[in-house]
Structure 1
Amino acid sequence: MAGSAPKSVRHVVLDELSGGIVEKLDAGSAAFINSSGLAQVSPMGMGLYRVEPRGKVGSVRTPQLQLDVRPKDRLGLERLLFLLSYAGEPGFREDDVHAAAAPELWGALAESLAQLAERALNRGVLQGYLTMEESLRTVKGRIRISEQISRRPGMLVPLEVSYDEFSADIAENRILRAALERMGQVPGVRPDVLSRLRQLKGKLDGVTRLPSGAPLPPWSPDRRNVRYHAVLRLAGLILRNASAEAGEGDQRAASFVVDMGEVFRDFVGTALRAALAAYPGDTRLGVNALLNEAVEDADRLSVTPDAVHYLGGRPVVVYDARYAARSDAGASLSGDHYRMLAYCTALQVPTAWLVYSGAGEIKLRRVLNTDIDIVEFPLDLSRPPSEILAAVADLAEQSWGEVLRQARQG
């Protein structure tokens, strides 16, 4: 099967809500799984360990074991990668990730990266202007006067200069090279895909290598680098969430771990802000609102809703995205309603929209002895990406309609 782990590697699949299982593991695999944060591995003696999900999803691969923890509601691999990518780049297309070509995460990531990198580099390595700062004996570009005076007072040479050089050693290529290296270190990637990744990295050998753990250099999408857009979005996803490291000898282990609560919150915020751009006002994410009156800063209490829409500088509606906000019976948990009530009180808005992951019907709940409404809005992540985005657009339309209705009444 394409992209599957070697036969010698056991493949264990868990649901993120499952209670865990007992597996026979070697100490190295147990330690790596624990360090990844994907699951809690506890020794039980005689080489047996209890493996329990820790509220995150992803995959860990060691020389002996591949452990996959999958999202609830049987959310497919294609959907997970779409949500991750869209949160980082609105407008991300689902066909930018070739998950259908590989039945598991590592195969999908490797194949997608190879295909997108080949497309990006088909016309050659991208070049751009890079600002260089050097000490030279002749003038090149412009002299950095302040540095010249502070570093070499009274000296004419060498000169502290700054100039632009047309080079392939730019942020876009550094990010791409780092992602190709990262995926090339993952054990179990199909040999033909691994060969493609190495050939692609060879085209970037003259590009500065990013140190492990270093922040990604900033880049801005424009017409010059348009052919790199898709591969850089995927490369960023890989570098932010995947790790690969060497073990004993030439054995390697790799992990790709994400927090679905954060993924859902980031996706809803990004998609909602894009949808609300069609209406007056502006949408702000992660607004910090004061909840109480306090004389000293240490006594201040604040709340941070996921999104707030403002009109004329005044908040008019608040939103919160809760991946685990739904019980098995389909009703949202009361703790989330308390939180929404606090948002409305702190921001003085009449309506809060609780966006939760799952299927169901929209429900409106009026809080007793108040004029505050809490609307539960389900977002079914099992649907195709186009339908998920259409549902977010419907959320924006309905919530804006409620703002207009209350404005007329007020």
Structure 2
Amino acid sequence: MTIELAPIPEHGRSGPVRLSRETRAALVTAAGERLVIHATADPDVVTIGATSWVGALAVPGLVVRVTPRVSVTNFFAMLGAGVAPDAFDHEHVTWSDTDELIDGVAYFAIRLIDSATMRGLVHGYVAREERMRMIRGRLLVEEFARRPWSAAEPQCRFDDFTADIAENQLLRCTLQAILSWPQLAPHVRREALRVLGRFEGVADTPATRHTTPLPITRLNEHYEDAMRLSRLVLQAMSLSHEAGDQQANSLMVDMDDLFRRWIGQELDVRLAPELRIQRDQDVWLDEGRAVTMAPDLVVRRGSEVVLVGDARYSMGADGYLASRDYLELVAYTTAMALPTGLLVHCNSQRAPESEIVIRNAGTRILCRPIRLDGSYAGVCRSLDALAGLVRELADGRGGLEVPEVVRTGA
């Protein structure tokens, strides 16, 4: 028998649930940092706490679902960063706050892959070495000299124009990962199988092969949205094997990480080409270059850094930005000799001060919210206003004075 818990809200907690020893062990192993398992006075009963990870995790005997605090439409806007929400609508499937999140993520990825490959798969040249009855490409003379008895089928090296390239392998791997989810809705499974049929002749590859983004070229640019979301889906899905036939499936997304990447992508689109956003760029903290930091947002005009910022998705139970969120930004601005830092947050409960000034330094930290509990149009207006503020700060406007220590470079 499989227990399906009522959906737990992000950073929420389930009621007591009685689990078998095998299910409890599988859950503890599979949960990792995604879920927190709380013991109770009864050794067979636990409560399950959600973190910033949303989605679903299934182990033998139990399915746990965690729903985001943001609206589903805005969640998909973050997930697809750059893909308009009307891409979520379909004559058979529409998304609302009560719809199954996993099916929505899966269907969204399938639709993007379907759209990208509808006119055929991208082909490319792949270097191959094979033994052939007819010489093709370059004959490997050294190999022929070592194995003269194989003259009937010599080793040849050639470039094969094929659909079995990294882009298509990524999309095929994503469809197969989606189909591995045991709770997938039948109509979503049918769509995934239909689209997967296009990838005949494309090799099966493990998800670990697709962690690094592929370069975007003129030939594969129409794949860009599908590849970006495919990598995210593969990161979110995992498959672990326990003793015997025990296995756990998960499709969970870290909202903290998703918010950071989404803010960077949206600002980059709005500020280009004059200003560009670099994310997770290493910055030296000390003169000896022994300690590095990685701000979420580094704003550049050409080679010049004009602003540094962090993005914090703080929609936990307390709704507060932690002191470390400010301290990290103070360290960034100090190390990069910048008078101002920008802290972008998603805080629906307790908004911090919009501006604080650091004692004995004069550095200003501006805090600006992006509300994700309203309409998508409202989110777009907030992002436009944020981009306008970044331009003002980059131009030295916005009523901010540069401290003397920064102007003189002391």
**Which residue, out of 174, 181, 193, partners 2:176?**
181
**Aligned-partner Cα distance in 2 for 1:278–1:122:** 31
Cα offsets for 1:319-368 (capped at 9, x unmatched)? 1111229995x764433222222211111110101111125587122223
Task: Give the counterpart letter for 1:33 in structure 2.
Answer: L
Is 2:410 the partner of 1:403? no
Q: Which runs of 5+ in 1 are unaligned?
A: 1-6
For residues 304 and 317 of structure 1, the distance between their equivalents in structure 2, rounded to whole angstroms, comes to 14
The reply on whether 1:345 has 2:345 as its aligned counterpart is no
Contact 2:295 2:332 in 1 (8 A): yes
2:102 alignment partner, one of 101, 106, 127: 106
What residue number does 1:357 align with? 346
Aligned-partner Cα distance in 2 for 1:390–1:83: 15
2: CA distance between counterparts of 1:408 and 1:23?
57
TM-score, normalized by length of structure 1?
0.79
Aligned with 1:70 (options 57, 67, 70): 67
Q: Distance in 1 between matches of 2:112 and 2:337?
A: 47
User: How far, CA to CA, are the matches of 2:395 and 2:193 in structure 1?
Assistant: 57
Q: Which of 56, 61, 76 matches 2:58?
A: 61
**Is this contact kept in 1: 2:239–2:250, CA < 8 A?**
yes
Task: Verify: 1:134 aligned to 2:130, yes or no.
Answer: yes
Q: String of CA shifts for 1:158-188, please: whole Å, max 9, x gaps.
A: 7654333232322233222222222222122
For 1:106, the aligned partner's letter is: I
Equivalent AA in structure 1 for residue 27 of structure 2 = I
Taking a change above 3 Å as real, the CA distance of residues 383 and 187 of structure 1, as seen in their structure-2 partners, is same
Correspondence for 1:18 among 4, 8, 12? 12
Within-5 A mapping of 1:87-102: 91-97=82-88, 100-101=94-95
Helix, strand or coil for the counterpart of 2:174?
Answer: helix
* Number of residue pairs aligned between Structure 1 and Structure 2: 388
Give the alignment of 1:20-59 within 5 angstroms: 20-34=14-28, 35-37=30-32, 38-44=34-40, 45=42, 47-59=44-56
Counterpart amino acid of residue 239 in structure 1: L
Is 1:191 the counterpart of 2:196? The answer is: no
- Which residue of structure 2 lines up, in the alignment, with residue 304 of structure 1? 294
For residue 316 of structure 1, give the secondary structure of its aligned residue in structure 2.
strand
Q: Work out whether residues 78 and 100 of structure 1, in 8 Å CA contact, stay in contact via their aligned partners in 2.
A: no
Q: 1:115 Cα deviation (Å)?
A: 3.9
Change (3 A) 1:408 1:108: closer
Deviation of 1:211 (Å): 3.2
Of 310, 316, 325, 1:320 maps to 310
Correspondence for 1:382: 373
> 1: CA distance between counterparts of 2:199 and 2:131?
27
Change (3 A) 1:292 1:169: closer
Contact 1:172 1:219 (8 Å CA) reproduced: yes
Report how far residue 374 of structure 1 moved.
0.9
Query: Does the alignment pair 1:289 with 2:289?
Result: no
Q: Specify the alignment match of 2:358 in structure 1.
A: 367
Post-superposition shift, 1:267?
1.5
Distance 1:120 1:309, change over 3 A: closer
8 Å CA contact 1:318–1:352 kept in 2: the answer is yes
